[in-house]
Chains A and B, each alone.
Chain A
Amino acid sequence: MKFYKKALALALSTMLLGSVMVGCGASTSTSNAVQGEDAIVRMAQSSDVISFDPHNHNDVASSNVTRHVFSNLIKLTTDGEFVGDLAENWEFLDELNVKFTLKSGVKFHNGDVLTAEDVKFSLERQKNSSKVGHLVKMIDSVEVVDDLNFIIHMNEASSALISSLAHSGGAILNKKVVEELDAAGKTMDSNMVGTGPYKFESWNPGDSVSLVRNDDYFGEKPANGGLQIRVITEESSRTIALETGEIDVILDVATTDANRIRENSELDLVEYESTQIEYLAMNTQKAPFDNVLVRQAINHAVDKDSIITVAVNGEATPQTSYLGDGAIGYSSDVTAYDYDLEKAKALLAEAGYADGFECSIYVSSDIRSRAAQVVQAALSQIGITVRIEQMDSGVFYDKTGSGEHDMAVTGWVANAEPDNTFRPLFHSSNVGAGGNRTFYVNPTVDTLIDEAAATQEMDKRLDNYAEVLRIATDDAIFAPFYTRKGLVAKRNNVDGLELYSINMHRFDNVHFVQE
């Protein structure tokens, strides 16, 4: 009897202790009880927020949150146009000075009124950031004229100013609040005070972030009551959570799950244009890749369709140009190298490598390794023996930055400013770790990029960029593979997602429709 009493006591104390520990977790309902315009939209993404400080991160997961809490001076529309957000208007006084006027009566979440001092403080703080400071390095100083007017003085003419101000790193902070936090050595973790459509509610590290609608928002009010953004790292777990209805939208869809989502009548798979491109970069300063004929031969040996099937389960579109088709500055008016091993062989022979040669391809992920294997198989048929070397991304960037590689499978995601793409990828000043991992040096290309950066005329810029792409594809410095489809999945009663090719999605208009 004594034994049973002991056992009972143990069981009871276990239950008690356990229930206390369950209390550690925040308790929210799994079913979406509230309907209509106050409904909370539950979303899932693959990684956690790194920082709530817009100046302390430059990643998609964090900016999905901060973009909705803070506002910028300028925002990008889904049509690719830059319009005023906090800025009522702006005007170029000359090529180095821009005068801005703020919208009046904009309030921060704590009730403070936004002034030009907040803007000056925010931009100067951003300049000192190691993560997003480079975006505003053209800003020399900010001169406050009065509460609503200020002038940005630049140290060099730059077309990138406007787009940089729309980047989530250009968020406008509350000077008073942030100065106090900085002085106290505190982070913005539970103290995000912005002017955006949502107010910060709670953060459970590794689990979820909750935002609630800001009813005093200066712009159009959000169509939902708030956002709950959950972290679900595992791909299939994300899809299952959408299937069970625990989640309304998933932002990172695994290509292997795409068909399963398409076949489910309760779910929708939304595809959007992406600025991401994957390609094989060749080291143009290393023999035999210093020979343009060799590089062209390799271009002809790349079977894009097979690579798409093997690497990303078919969820991509083949690409002949050097940018994702959603990128600003994209042009498809370039030399297209079709998959033709005979032509490749002939070019190799012409280059003096009829018997082929040995070389290696560096990769840093499984997807890229699978793509490299397809290339390896094709190249073996024209006498080139390829060794695939997979490494950690840190090592990969080190080695390809110092030019150790023959070839490397890598990629690029363009943002709203084409100079941020063309300069690192093709300009000779960025050879190596700067982003030009083909070590491509071409003075004509340099001039075209520099000219484009110095003018505000969009047509002139686009002409120059198209010319850069044409010259570079003739020189065959890359062998482009594909543009990955942007994939977002949602329950079919969800509507109003605004998806951007540069991943600056907006969720203000997401709402539930009657089925």
Chain B
Amino acid sequence: MDLSIDIDLNPDLKEILNNIGESDNVTENLTVILKEFIFIKLEKINKIILEIQEENLRSANISKELMDLSNYPNEKLLLIQEKLLKTLEKLKKFEKQELTEEDYLEIIENFENESEADDIDLFDIHNEDKAQQYKDMKKLESKSIQIYNRKKIAELTTNRILEALNSSELLNMKDLIFKLKIRDMLDARFIQVKLKELERKGLVESKIKMGKKYWRKTK
């Protein structure tokens, strides 16, 4: 069964195609180019997957609970990889003229199905910028997890404030901020309120020296 279709290809394009493929037969040239293209894409995808895996391992050390490792590397990338490998296999078969009628029927079905091409957006990896964006997105994700962890460390509880205070030494606001590793001014304000509350409860005592307020734990 002849399953070739007549195409009115732009003559310039035909010339470029023949120059790249170095043969007179357009079909032969296109097969070679498509194979080369798939190899390039596979190499890129493998690189991205490896990089993501490495990044995940690094961020997984920070917090294992927060990371769902089963989601990484992205399923979509793996699907694209699988699809490319399948196409490569078929291209090899096509070159050897081993494509069966069943294969062709499958191809025609896929060809008629419009949504098939939209299923997996292969242009995600066509475009290097997009691949870079994807990597940046992943980096941002891991960064946000780190920031979340840091915030978790800086969580202010009564116990932490009491631990930071000493019963013998008097500490002012600056010392406390330094000891509790506070970066946000709102947190500093929160400590002031908390100290007032603790003072009322009798857990902390305060003294004013040279116009500055100092605190220490009650003995």
**A and B are partners in one complex rather than unrelated chains:** no
* B residues lining the A interface (CB < 8 Å): none
